[in-house]
Structure 1
Amino acid sequence: MPTVKPAKPTAPKALSLHLGLNTVSAAAYAGWEGPLAACEFDARDMADIARSRGMKPTVLLTKQATRKAVLGAMRGAAKALKAGDFFFLSFSGHGGQVPDTNRDEPDRKDETWCLYDGQLIDDELYLELSRFASGVRVLVLSDSCHSGSVTRDGPLPPPPPGQRYKLMPEAVGRRVYSAHQAFYDGLQAEVAKASKNTIVDPDAALAQVAHTVAAAQATSVVGSFKPAVLLISGCQDNQTSMDGEHNGAFTEKLLRVWGSGSFKGNYLSFHQRIRAALPPSQSPNLFTLGPAAEFVKQAPFSV
């Protein structure tokens, strides 16, 4: 009988999605446009890294980064990827807040990404991430502010020249929610209904993780997530991420540490190097969801 050669294993598939918003729609944000300078550059630079590592990137800039487009791209990737595959998601823009109606947040506020025509609530984001198949690795880099406490500490000091805070002002957030309360309350209700398993909010889970090196322990705190998810955000919850002229502060330091691919190390050391390069006023966060213990040991952006 002829010898049957074993089938060659197929290479992992890798997709990425990069969001950069220099402004938002005044119609969706109670007249506020939130101008920033470097977010589109950030998205393009993250896409360049993705291409260099063999990924197929999608880039959505400012007006293109609508709720429909972003959710559609994420859901398309979730359907296309299977065990062993890789998804890289980056966001650069304003962070915001809406009141927490399903009481999963200790501060009773849900953090958001400010997309062009409306906010993407963190509950929505983590529900979408949970839809990826078991064995898929998901990397999320967020260069924005997701701060509950910073808005309660009084006026922020003036930012350095040429920089802006990536934070929707609290007064704007109140007006936006008041104008669109039914929409945002409805989104949270839809997420609660769609979630078969309770998804503990990652911000609450992170509070139980004592040290960055122990970030993988968040998996056991958060609960059941099929994919391995690793998120590095631009700052702690009580801090602000800074915009710049050519890159956000977090993205600028990430690119410098990455060194066009010359960085040698894993995700934990990558995070530590980026964190060490930033001032104490902006300390990037790292946490994991799902079975990510091996994921964090891999070289960054490895397909």
Structure 2
Amino acid sequence: MKPQPQGYSLHIGVNAVDPNSYEGWDGRLDACENDAAVYRSIAEKAGYSSINTLLTEKATTANVLSHLKKAAGKLKSGDILLLTYSGHGGALVDSNNDEPDKQDETWCLYDRQLIDDELHDAFSKFKAGVRILVFSDSCHSGTVSRAPLEADTTSGRKSRLAPIRSLITTYNKHRAMYDSIQSQISTSPADIKAYVVQFGACQDNEEAMEADGNGLFTAKVKKVMKRPAPNYTSFLGAIRKDFDSGQHPHLHHYGNQTYNFLAQAPFVIHR
């Protein structure tokens, strides 16, 4: 009898970073751990067999990469990884010259920035036929050239864009470490045998915001899940409908497209 597909999920919520690793910046946010709980609840309802959460101090690069390594060894063709991140988005100088805009996108984890090259490398370890579903409620590197929007005290909205001054200072202080990480990785999305579908909270020239206990993007995901869309394309459309924040969630996909992941029902293990 053919084994049933399995689901492995990892939910990361970073309400603050270690100031010692970011040159005095603590990256204080309010709603990222709440977002992780939203995605964890979705995974529980969908019947994922292994559900894991890393919050703030536990959300280190070593812990995240360890989970991805474990999932890569465990999951087989037809299985699914759900990876969610809520926190600040940043960027680093592209020292290995694999980005057209000369910047690598990052997630600001507690101990340091996790570079998109590292995620691509981790994804490349997954077997062909594995589905990787990523939700990132964070800002993207396209906005790194300007300062974050000021917090709106009336609406309580706060930006998830890491300040450019802090990013530059941090990179200059820890340049040897970040450049060394990039120099050891040559993986590109074209090298990934799994199929990755990635949702982002905003476009590269926008900022992801949070208010009222959740990221605006995650709050909309939670609302849409009350009446789930039939596939990922319509799911994106439902999320974007009536979005009033000046941010436009997006979707992109890459890897080994041996079957139509986008046509499947969101978060479902059994295709």
**2:140 matches 1:146:** yes
State the match for 2:231 in structure 1: 266
CA contact (8 A) 1:147 1:236 kept: no
Larger radius of gyration: 1
CA displacement, residues 110-135 of structure 1 (integer Å, 9 cap, x when unaligned): 11000000010011111111211000
Query: Could you say which residue in structure 1 is the equivalent of 2:85?
Result: 91
Q: Which secondary structure state, in structure 2, belongs to the residue aligned with residue 265 of structure 1?
A: coil
| Match status 1:45 vs 2:38 | yes
List alignment gaps of at least 5 residues for structure 2: none
TM-score normalised by the chain length of structure 2: 0.94
Which residue does the alignment assign to 2:24?
31
- Tell whether 2:193 aligns with 1:226: yes
Q: Counterparts in 2 of 1:149-168, with a 5 A limit?
A: 150-153=143-146, 156=149, 158-159=151-152, 161-168=155-162
Which position in structure 2 is the counterpart of 1:291?
256
How has the CA–CA distance of structure 1 residues 253 and 155 changed in structure 2, closer, same or farther, with 3 Å as cutoff? Answer: closer
Within the alignment, does 1:82 sit opposite 2:49 as a pair?
no
Richer in helix (by share): 1
**Deviation of residue 291 (structure 1)?**
3.0
d(CA) in 2 for partners of 1:295, 1:155 = 35
Task: Give the distance between the partners of 2:232 and 2:166, measured in 1 at CA.
Answer: 36
Kindly tell me: are residues 235 and 10 of structure 1, through their superposed partners in 2, closer, same or farther at Cα, counting changes over 3 Å?
same
TM-score by length of 1: 0.84
* 2:33 partner amino acid: E
Q: Does the residue aligned with 1:173 lie in a helix, a strand or coil? A: helix
Greater per-residue strand proportion: 2
CA distance in 2, matches of 1:151, 1:109: 9
The one-letter amino acid of 1:117's match is: D
Asked if structure 1 preserves the Cα contact closer than 8 Å seen for 2:149 and 2:159, the reply is: no
Equivalent residues in 2 for 1:38-187 (5 A)?
38-55=31-48, 56-148=50-142, 150-153=143-146, 156=149, 158-159=151-152, 161-187=155-181
Pairwise CA distance, 1:177 = 0.4
For 1:155 and 1:125, locate their aligned partners in 2 and report how far apart those are by CA, in whole Å. 25
| Alpha-carbon separation, structure 2, partners of 1:165 and 1:25 | 18
Structure 1 stretches of 5 or more lacking a match? Answer: 1-7, 200-221
